[in-house]
Chain A
Amino acid sequence: MAVKGHLLDVDDLRREDLERILETARSFSEVLRRPIKKVPSLRGKTVVNLFYEPSTRTRLSFEVAAKRLSADVLNFTASASSVEKGESLKDTALTLRAMGVDAVIIRHPVAGAPCLLRRWLDVTVINAGDGMHAHPTQALLDLFTMRERLGDMEGATIAYVGDILHSRVARSGMKACRAAGMRVVAVAPPTLMPPAVPDYVEVSHSFDAVIPRCDVIYMLRIQKERQQEARFPSLEEYARLYQLDKERLRKAKPGVVVMHPGPMNRGVEISSEVADAPHAAITAQVSAGVAVRMAVLFLLLGGGEGGGVLA
């Protein structure tokens, strides 16, 4: 049986793998500017999008990436509520195995679901977000976007701002930034900060104090349900302390890069003017998403037996 590579979280990647993915993604961003944006590299491979959670951009991004590489794509969308955890995921996995797919891209509300899937399947598993745990391709595309804007990232400072506690984007992103040699600051009210953060992460509750030294400001989405959980008194109160608006942006370095994983709540974590300002790399993140996911699919599926970068 072929030993296949997987991508479950950023810590699966060695520094050279990270480099290789970013370099390959740069080549693919050129492919995406061609008149015919399709290459035959994964012809005959079948990729399944197994999404147990609503997602537009991640699912579409993986679908476009796979199609640009000439792979066949199957989309499986299930609402988490209608699917029983555990056993039924296993049955789905066995069905997919019987169909002879080459890779499964999974998004699941339960942390660890991709890991279980890998245990049951002998095909490539790619985590497209599991619970509050990890979202490695988002972290990679964020790193790619930062590198395109900043060049060398060694020693640069990034602040993740907002709902760190529930954010798999921040959790994977911080690891990736750390691997790239960046300084990482987590900014959130105490109620949205995890009880423990890795020791390389600096914790702050004051956005205003952190802004002037940031090279990258990464705004996280505030889910409105969090207010019902009494994590903060009101959205207005939250916005007053943690929204990135024009006033706050003025205190940042002139070349600061503003990022957001989307979808944005304009007027909550980020003001509309800032979202549309030239500092914002938010649409660049979306474009990077396709190139980076092409790189990941190509490197995991494109080589021979045991060919994947993570094999």
Chain B
Amino acid sequence: MEEDDVQRAVRRIAHEIVERNKGAAELVLVGIRTRGVPLSNRIATAIREIEGVEVPVGRLDITLYRDDLHTLEQPVVRETYLPPDIDGRQVVIVDDVLFTGRSVRAAMDAIIDFGRPASIQLAVLVDRGHRELPIRADYVGKNVPTSREEEVKVALREVDGEDGVFIGYQG
């Protein structure tokens, strides 16, 4: 995916989110650190252009909820911010790549510690398959079939200085 493709995917996801939730009034977007955060901001901007509504955006660090903490050498815990009172809202988790589904599981556990949303949905820029948990995305920018050994890297201007999706081999 090139820069324009990324932007188009973001706009389409924004449209689908608004359509599915019949507007944006009850929405809360939550980006998973690191690259889910700029993505969630972009989706919020697109929703503002479509609906004229300012959607609250949160950012989530899932380190404390990971199931592989014991394998990490130097876990880094970054700030989490969730908009106050997510009870009864439609919460959309935003991440760059959906792979095993374990990050999403951790994010759902974290969000539930903050309150009881009416629903939790999932938006990702890239779905690369190989799920290890019964989790699927509600909004997908692009399905990218990969082998398990391949590495999918999403670059975003806010973090990496450019937009794009790159596929390579590990090592």
A30 to B65 Cα, complex, angstroms: 15
Q: Which single residue of chain B is at the shortest CB-CB distance from A29?
A: B79
Contact between chains at B114 and A36 (CB < 8 Å): yes
Stretch from B11-19, B69-77, B88-96, B129-137 that touches the partner: B69-77
Provide the B62-86 mask, 1 if CB < 8 A to any CB of A, else 0: 0111000111111111111100000
Let me know if A27 and B79 touch, CB within 8 A: yes
Counting CB contacts under 8 A, is B109 at the interface? yes
Q: Are B74 and A298 in contact (CB under 8 A)?
A: no
* B61: interface (CB < 8 Å): yes
B115 at the interface (CB under 8 A from A): yes
Nearest chain A CB to B43 CB, angstrom units: 24
Interface segment among A75-83, A86-94, A223-231, A303-311: the answer is A303-311
Known interface pairs A31-B64, A40-B65. Does A309 touch B74 (Cβ–Cβ under 8 Å)? yes
Q: Which chain A residues lie closer than 8 Å to B69 at the CB level?
A: 41, 302-304
Residues of B within 8 A of A31 (CB): 64, 80
Check if A24 is an interface residue, CB within 8 A of chain B. yes
Given contacts A303-B69, A307-B73, contact A27 B61 (CB under 8 A): yes
Quick one: which of A257-311 are within 8 Å of B by CB? 295, 298-299, 302-304, 306-307, 309
A28 part of interface (Cβ distance < 8 Å): yes
In the complex, chain A residues whose CB is within 8 Å of the CB of B78: 27
Given contacts A39-B64, A307-B74, contact A30 B81 (CB under 8 A): yes
The answer to the question of A205 belonging to the interface, with a C-beta cut-off of 8 Å to chain B, is no
| Per-residue contact bits, chain A 8-33, to B (CB 8 Å; 1 contact, 0 not) | 00000000000010001011101100
In the assembled complex, A34 has its CB within 8 A of some CB on chain B = yes
Asked if A24 and B113 make an inter-chain contact with CB atoms under 8 angstroms apart, the answer reads no
Taking a contact as CB atoms under 8 Å apart, the answer to whether A307 and B79 are in contact is no
A239 to B154, alpha carbons, bound, how many Å?
64
Do B113 and A307 have beta carbons less than 8 Å apart? no
A254 cross-chain contacts in B, Cβ below 8 A: none
What residues of chain A lie closer than 8 Å to B81, measured between beta carbons? Answer: 30
* Distance of A31 Cα from B60 Cα, bound (Å): 11
Count A-B pairs with CB separation below 8 Å.
59
Whole-angstrom distance between the alpha carbons of A302 and B67 in the complex? 11
Min distance, Cβ B53 to any Cβ of chain A, angstroms: 26
A35 an interface residue at 8 Å Cβ cutoff? yes
Q: A28 to chain B: which residues have CB within 8 Å?
A: 77
**Which residues of the other chain, B, contact A304 by a CB distance below 8 angstroms?**
69-73
A298 touches B77 (CB 8 A): yes
Contacts of A298 in B (CB 8 A): 64, 75, 77
User: Which residue of chain A lies nearest to B77 when distances are taken between CB atoms in the complex?
Assistant: A27
For A307, the chain B residues whose CB sits under 8 A away are: 70, 72-75
**Once the chains bind, are B113 and A35 in contact (CB under 8 Å)?**
yes
- Contact (Cβ within 8 A) B64 A41: yes
Can you name the residue of chain B whose Cβ is closest to the Cβ of A295? B77
Residues of B with C-beta under 8 A to A41: 63-65, 69
Closest 9 CB pairs of A and B: A39-B64, A36-B113, A27-B77, A41-B64, A304-B71, A24-B77, A304-B70, A302-B75, A303-B72
Q: 30 A-B contacts, Cβ less than 8 Å apart?
A: A24-B76, A24-B77, A27-B78, A27-B79, A27-B80, A28-B77, A30-B79, A30-B81, A31-B64, A31-B80, A34-B114, A35-B113, A35-B114, A39-B64, A39-B113, A41-B64, A41-B65, A295-B77, A298-B64, A298-B75, A302-B75, A303-B70, A303-B72, A303-B74, A304-B71, A306-B73, A307-B72, A307-B73, A307-B74, A309-B74
6 new A-B pairs (CB below 8 Å) besides A24-B76, A35-B115, A304-B72?
A: A30-B81, A35-B113, A41-B65, A298-B77, A302-B69, A303-B70
